[in-house]
Amino acid sequence: MHVLYPAVLSALLFSIGIYGVLARRNAILVLMSVELMLNAVNLNLVAFDVWLADRLGSGQILTLFVIVIAAAEVGIGLAIVLQVFRNRATISVDSLTELAETAETDSAGDRR
């Protein structure tokens, strides 16, 4: 099998994830897009591991590690999101601008 098929698929999945992270407003949807990006990386790792026929299986074992870290990340991320929702009653990342650097002129218009 040509190595370009998995590589291009993972590149496209990664850009879809980037679009989701940048364009979505709901924090949970942002987390889902991050998961898509991690999956694209996993696909790349497995494809190149199989291509190189690594005897130590580095790519596939690193994929397993990435999956574990993604599970930990989503657990912590959801705990933070729930805490934000408990304090602010919203999880829209656009309205959480407390730490944003806004110029004095457009700060009123920038907040939603």
Partner 1 sequence: MTAAEIVFVLLGVVALAAAVLVVTTRQLVRAALYLVLSFGAIAACFLVLTAELVAWVQVLIYVGAVVVLLLFGIMLTRAPIGPTSDLDSRNRPAAIVVAVATAGVLVTVLVRGFGDAYVDLGEPSTGSASGIGANIFRYWVLPFEILSVLLLAALVGAIVLSRTDIGPPKDGDG
* Touching partner 1, residues 18-77 (CB under 8 A): 18-20, 22-26, 28-29, 31-33, 35-36, 39, 42-43, 46-47, 49-51, 53-57, 60-61, 63-65, 67-76
Q: Which helix (H) or strand (E) holds 17?
A: helix 4-23
CA distances from 37 to 41, 96, 103 (A): 6, 23, 32
* Choice from 41, 81, 96, 106 touching partner 1 (CB under 8 A): 81
Q: Which of residues 86-105 bind partner 1 (CB under 8 A)?
A: 86, 91-94
Alpha carbons 79 and 29: distance in angstroms, whole number = 15
Q: Minimum Å distance from CB 40 to partner 1?
A: 9
Contact between 81 and 28 (Cβ < 8 Å):
yes
Decide: 26 and 78 in contact? Cβ < 8 Å. Answer: no
Nearer to partner 1, 27 or 105 (CB): 27
Among 8, 102, 107, 111, interactor with partner 1 by CB under 8 A: 8
The residue type at 75: G
Amino acid letter for position 51: W
Least Å distance between CB 104 and partner 1?
Answer: 20
- Chain centre to alpha carbon of residue 41: 11
Nearer CB in complex with partner 1: 56/99: 56
